[in-house]
Structure 1
């Protein structure tokens, strides 16, 4: 092999390479120029699409034997944001060809932790497992150096089927979580680092979907989203720019739908003018799998498929997930596309291949030494469990029903369709752990150590309203000291191609909950779903505790420990839970500010008060603010002045716990309708011992407030600590410009 030839010297040796592009000591641009000069036009085109795979899961048409270039996949493990993919298809539950891996909560569950440092560790964990499989698992089915990472589209409508995959409705929270997760994947040592640990990426994450794909999902291959430029700039684009600014992105997946009449995979304004020219993005853009043909077939944007692929690559969509780009050979011949466009596209892609180490000598990847023993290891099990613990949101807890008291409970009735069902632990796109632990499993483990009897029945069903098990469920509940209902949705209600029409629990769940509440026993309801469920009756009756968790991954014992007080809930909602669908605009209306407004940022709370607001989450402990909210300076005439906001708070007990401190702002006198009414500014999650007091500081510059250079300034800026609806403490910053 060429990579094994060495030129020996008396005191040292250095590798001898046939071509400069093979020498990792040379600058990437030098290597890239050399490789571009060696590749034929046919070879360049065949590297722009994803075809059949080698036995190792790499794309065959990426191989150039005459140049000793091995295989590669622009998007290998399709599910890296959940775990290493291990060859698992949608909702598979059995061990698969690439072994077992650690399985995280779905996207909204990751976001509900509000803990970017924990999510950075999750990214490191997943990239470790990816590299361990990539270099140690024989006959692996995919390439683990690349993968489809987070869905960072904004969950503007809770009915959208892919809300569970997102990080919620807030660009600020989404951006912080996405940056943290990607940096963990890419090979940063710490979240704050600006340089990688080594000169190559550990895993190349492809972020999805740029930029208008936010529902409806039914009909997405022909849907045209009408979006104003202010809404694009204020809501749909900021997360992507943040990732680019923080060097936390390598690949971008173009969206499926069209925006303002132009298919996303051929949208020159977004893919070239904004992404490249405005933001200086240097990575590659890859289509989804595979909407490129729909440029012609569904959108009728071009007359032929050859023109469609030409329009796509000419607009900045470099790579095709699928095989339609094979038609670029004909498109070039017919004059639909210039060779310069082909060269630009493959140059962007090849740069990323160099950055992945794919074109370096075999064995030189510093991550090749990660042992297979890390995969699904005890350490990773504990980290995954911690993420699940921190994702659980306590919404209602009258009379401190939770946690259940182990010393007083002799019998617990666990009722509901989701208590012992592993299908609600994983949504679409996931790996398979060595063991699924259901919520019921976790409760039984704790109960067995405390001489507590656990009885269980399904009670109600998700997919039909049968009451055939109601009587049995009520009988078990009557004979028990406490009752837990575990219900919600599964992936069949909210996934690709499937939107919801209601925010209520399906089947007979609501009716059974109503009957169980009438027993007047300690009762808790756990809702498992990836998007908002609104059942106001549970809160209005004030007879049950209420918790929410997303599709939570492998460790249901984390839930059991919350229920019995071994852990304390600290999650907060990553979305608003409306009262009902009457508060929502039509799902195909992309306006953010049209009355009553979308998401907490634009919602008119007087017209559409939420069931639970964005950022809401209770604790078993009580917190007291021990100081007013201080702003220094509280009056400025220079937008580049550093402003420090301080708040002190104390954990009054009775638990050691964590607390998310959220800082929001609003421009008091703003009359600009297309700008947010309010927005999260910064947040921090801290651990408090019992009776511990801490001061939390936030530092920012007014110029860096989104939209601050618009019509709001000069004026007053209200800042508050709390959540998007409740203002626990607040103060005002005054901005003046003296003549």
Structure 2
């Protein structure tokens, strides 16, 4: 417990207390008093109405006590999010692919440095709104059990052990190691048994066996609670055994509080309490309670201390009705205020060591370098036929094609911050080989069978090439903009909880975009718009297209009879009132995808690099996406979109080597590509330095060593139903079929051999540990990293996993050299689930310890171990 406790005689305590009135307005302001005393003092001064207000994420100020407002909602999934400049690291699934929790700890220590620096600057500027606090709702440690789930990219993959190790590193990096104060709060989410589908998460009742609950869905949460001292846990939207998770006494009281001894804060996912009682024809909900009051009472009594939402306002009525006691609120409020004291929010900056972190750490050179390093470490080489990679830097002509090649915001993924500079994959390649001719062709979009002959670069403003964008956190364009800047591309969505711009609401906002369009040709030029709630297009100050206070309109086109060289004033007004915001604008001439034409334009290149895959504008959290293969942020299949498949086939038909750079947050069925293209590099959503990292790998300045944290299936035919939460047939742990690429898989530009493997003992007791030691030799000609993986096969539990990851270590090995790797396996590594006792236990018997560079049986060697 991190608190200052005054030691010594009672007389000293009395003397110290007597100084309070002289130095501090109230005892709760005195940093030298024990935190429990400070909490008691503060609680004693609050009215019932004030107490209710402090149990929702947007807490109002208590001006008479000098307490400013505070919003608990902040995000840091892969860097500080949504509040202006920050370093953007690779998306979480890419971080998982590093298989390097030490590097992840370093990364999130940097993230929390930026968080603290930004927080203290906001406090000085008296900015108290959302995304400016110290309580971060990350990491997402749900199990990525099915590749169709759009939010899987926010997780650390399909394996409970990997998820626990990586999640633990995030928590430690965020919360720090100061003996007196937490650096920030981390939050383990979404508890529990939550991983899609997105379209029914507000009404879905999960059915899962106790075995799957304890072996798959709970281990990472337990680890973060018991080993990580995680300070917040977010309960999920879905139901479990008939009860919404935020009102589940089994999950919140029996397991989390009583069994694991968790003493921190439980908070609801945003709007989760609304799902208990609200009726909505567009979004079906649980409707387990008749009204907000009964729903809120149940949530509080089940231990949900903080609501993200507004249902808890009804607690005022519950107090008046006598259906809830003020003491019931106090139990939660003690946890909430204790947290704020432990973060130093009520103490002078000179008492809080973290207040000394300078603002210039935000997106500093060191942090950008770490973003590059993590991007390099994350990327997984899936195929390298005839060693076509790495490419020779003396190459004369390179063609770069595809919808992700020049897309910077794709690299940010979702729940993102805003970097000052993002290196696209196209830029990365051009920067790497400045002497080569690099030709770029869009070729095709992600899913559409047409492309725009884009003329967006003909729009300019006083901010530069592109629109001048102004955003207002109201629906009437009132007051001063909350953000003003350059918008080069108008393709936005708040699906996946992504902001349009820093400091802009996710809902109830307006935007104005102004610029001048200089027509490059004479003839018809199309201005294409789509949006929801309200959108207007002005040409030369006249409204030419309007959809205002209307339902979502998928597409609207205005055709301008343009004269070459003439300038036209363009203004777009956008209004979003409810639900998710979505805005798209393009200007140019729409044409069908020309597969043959694109191939003809690049056929003289020495190599063709196709940069495709999917996009965070297609997969994510409950998104308004209506494209073939996608549904509300999830996917209905895992194939590449057809238009990309056909484009790659056309490029391959040129006879030139084709290197496929895949950007994705989840598994793709790359069957034709695996059989036909020359090389495949999975680059995930690589963050602000993703383009540099891709180029470093393509041209051999970095030897890839990322490993898949998820199974790449051949098709959805290898998967059970998406809504079936049973683990049977899912992930490498229970799958009996052969996947396209197995969990833990990844190629290198060198080769490793495992030698002299031995266990510290051939027999151990059920409570003992054992250590595997093995020499890893680099028998190739390049320095490189190897990810040593240990799996345990437990024949004593036929209903358990076929094999399960229980240890890993990423090591760097020079060409021709060896590194000795030792990995300890503790009692938990051998846990089985007992159907008889409904508990985890170590069963005596023979076990197989498997070690190697992938989960595939062909990549593993084994040693027998006897447990007695």
* TM-score with structure 1 setting the length: 0.89
2:99 to 114, 117, 134: 114
Number of the residue aligned with 1:533: 668
How does 1:245-284 map onto structure 2 within 5 Å? 245-284=226-265
2:442 to 434, 452, 458: 458
1:33 to 31, 34, 40: 40
Cα separation, 2, equivalents of 1:729 and 1:577: 19
2:150 to 161, 172, 176: 161
CA-based RMSD of the aligned residues comes to 2.0
Cα separation, 1, equivalents of 2:743 and 2:447: 28
Number of the residue aligned with 1:615: 744
CA contact (8 A) 2:758 2:774 kept: yes
Is 361-370 or 170-179 further displaced after alignment? 361-370
Secondary structure of 1:212's counterpart equals coil
Asked whether 1:705 is paired with 2:839, we answer no
CA contact (8 A) 1:460 1:507 kept: no
Number of the residue aligned with 1:499: 634
Please report how far the alpha carbon of residue 405 of structure 1 lies from its aligned counterpart in structure 2 after TM superposition: 1.3
Larger fraction in strand: 2
Is 216-225 or 13-22 further displaced after alignment? 13-22
Please report how far the alpha carbon of residue 357 of structure 1 lies from its aligned counterpart in structure 2 after TM superposition: 1.0
Secondary structure of 2:137's counterpart equals strand
Asked whether 1:300 is paired with 2:307, we answer no
How does 1:338-377 map onto structure 2 within 5 Å? 338-361=325-348, 363-377=350-364
How does 1:413-428 map onto structure 2 within 5 Å? 413-428=399-414
Evaluate the alpha carbon distance shift between residue 728 and residue 161 of structure 1 in structure 2; reply closer, same or farther with a 3 A threshold.
closer
Asked whether 1:238 is paired with 2:219, we answer yes
Please report how far the alpha carbon of residue 731 of structure 1 lies from its aligned counterpart in structure 2 after TM superposition: 2.8
CA contact (8 A) 2:145 2:731 kept: yes
- Superimposed CA distance per residue, residues 613-667 of structure 1 (whole angstroms, 9 cap, x where no aligned partner): 111011111112232x31221123x223331211111112322221111111111
Cα separation, 1, equivalents of 2:860 and 2:804: 16
Secondary structure of 1:577's counterpart equals coil
Please report how far the alpha carbon of residue 512 of structure 1 lies from its aligned counterpart in structure 2 after TM superposition: 1.6
How does 1:671-690 map onto structure 2 within 5 Å? 671=798, 673=799, 675-690=800-815
Please report how far the alpha carbon of residue 423 of structure 1 lies from its aligned counterpart in structure 2 after TM superposition: 2.8
CA contact (8 A) 1:22 1:361 kept: no
Asked whether 1:383 is paired with 2:390, we answer no
Number of the residue aligned with 2:543: none
Is 503-512 or 614-623 further displaced after alignment? 503-512
Secondary structure of 2:139's counterpart equals strand
Please report how far the alpha carbon of residue 686 of structure 1 lies from its aligned counterpart in structure 2 after TM superposition: 1.0
Is 708-717 or 198-207 further displaced after alignment? 708-717
Is 223-232 or 166-175 further displaced after alignment? 223-232
CA contact (8 A) 1:635 1:733 kept: no
How does 1:46-125 map onto structure 2 within 5 Å? 46-51=53-58, 59=59, 61=60, 63-75=61-73, 77=74, 79-87=75-83, 98=84, 100-125=85-110
Number of the residue aligned with 2:762: 634
How does 1:153-232 map onto structure 2 within 5 Å? 153-187=142-176, 196-232=177-213
CA contact (8 A) 1:225 1:590 kept: yes
Number of the residue aligned with 1:90: none
CA contact (8 A) 2:447 2:644 kept: no
Cα separation, 1, equivalents of 2:189 and 2:168: 13
Cα separation, 1, equivalents of 2:89 and 2:23: 44
- Superimposed CA distance per residue, residues 585-627 of structure 1 (whole angstroms, 9 cap, x where no aligned partner): 111111112xxx11111112xxx21101111011111112232
Evaluate the alpha carbon distance shift between residue 711 and residue 116 of structure 1 in structure 2; reply closer, same or farther with a 3 A threshold.
closer
Number of the residue aligned with 1:719: 849
CA contact (8 A) 2:379 2:705 kept: yes
CA contact (8 A) 1:179 1:248 kept: no
1:433 to 406, 419, 429: 419
Cα separation, 1, equivalents of 2:305 and 2:828: 35
CA contact (8 A) 1:149 1:206 kept: yes
Please report how far the alpha carbon of residue 127 of structure 1 lies from its aligned counterpart in structure 2 after TM superposition: 1.0
CA contact (8 A) 1:102 1:431 kept: yes
How does 1:444-593 map onto structure 2 within 5 Å? 444-448=430-434, 451-466=435-450, 468-497=593-622, 498-541=633-676, 543-555=677-689, 556-593=691-728
Please report how far the alpha carbon of residue 42 of structure 1 lies from its aligned counterpart in structure 2 after TM superposition: 2.2
Evaluate the alpha carbon distance shift between residue 350 and residue 712 of structure 1 in structure 2; reply closer, same or farther with a 3 A threshold.
closer
- Superimposed CA distance per residue, residues 689-724 of structure 1 (whole angstroms, 9 cap, x where no aligned partner): 121101111112345523277687222111111222
CA contact (8 A) 1:113 1:391 kept: yes
CA contact (8 A) 1:720 1:728 kept: no
Please report how far the alpha carbon of residue 212 of structure 1 lies from its aligned counterpart in structure 2 after TM superposition: 2.2
Asked whether 1:694 is paired with 2:819, we answer yes
Asked whether 1:443 is paired with 2:406, we answer no
How many equivalent pairs are there?
Answer: 682
CA contact (8 A) 2:82 2:415 kept: no
Please report how far the alpha carbon of residue 249 of structure 1 lies from its aligned counterpart in structure 2 after TM superposition: 1.0
1:656 to 768, 783, 786: 783
Please report how far the alpha carbon of residue 362 of structure 1 lies from its aligned counterpart in structure 2 after TM superposition: 5.1
Cα separation, 2, equivalents of 1:477 and 1:492: 28
2:132 to 119, 143, 151: 143
Evaluate the alpha carbon distance shift between residue 323 and residue 708 of structure 1 in structure 2; reply closer, same or farther with a 3 A threshold.
closer
CA contact (8 A) 1:112 1:571 kept: yes
Cα separation, 1, equivalents of 2:45 and 2:775: 63
1:646 to 729, 754, 773: 773
Please report how far the alpha carbon of residue 562 of structure 1 lies from its aligned counterpart in structure 2 after TM superposition: 0.6
Please report how far the alpha carbon of residue 252 of structure 1 lies from its aligned counterpart in structure 2 after TM superposition: 1.0
Secondary structure of 1:147's counterpart equals coil
Cα separation, 2, equivalents of 1:622 and 1:734: 28
Cα separation, 2, equivalents of 1:350 and 1:616: 46
CA contact (8 A) 1:395 1:548 kept: yes
Cα separation, 1, equivalents of 2:867 and 2:424: 57
CA contact (8 A) 2:292 2:312 kept: no
Number of the residue aligned with 2:864: 733
Is 253-262 or 725-734 further displaced after alignment? 725-734
Cα separation, 2, equivalents of 1:199 and 1:401: 55
Cα separation, 2, equivalents of 1:398 and 1:634: 41
1:603 to 716, 735, 752: 735
- Superimposed CA distance per residue, residues 70-118 of structure 1 (whole angstroms, 9 cap, x where no aligned partner): 332222x2x212222243xxxxxxxxxx4x2100111101111111111
Cα separation, 2, equivalents of 1:526 and 1:163: 20
Is 728-737 or 248-257 further displaced after alignment? 728-737
Please report how far the alpha carbon of residue 729 of structure 1 lies from its aligned counterpart in structure 2 after TM superposition: 4.4
CA contact (8 A) 1:458 1:469 kept: no
Asked whether 1:396 is paired with 2:523, we answer no
- Superimposed CA distance per residue, residues 231-289 of structure 1 (whole angstroms, 9 cap, x where no aligned partner): 11111111011011113411111101111211111111111111111111111011111
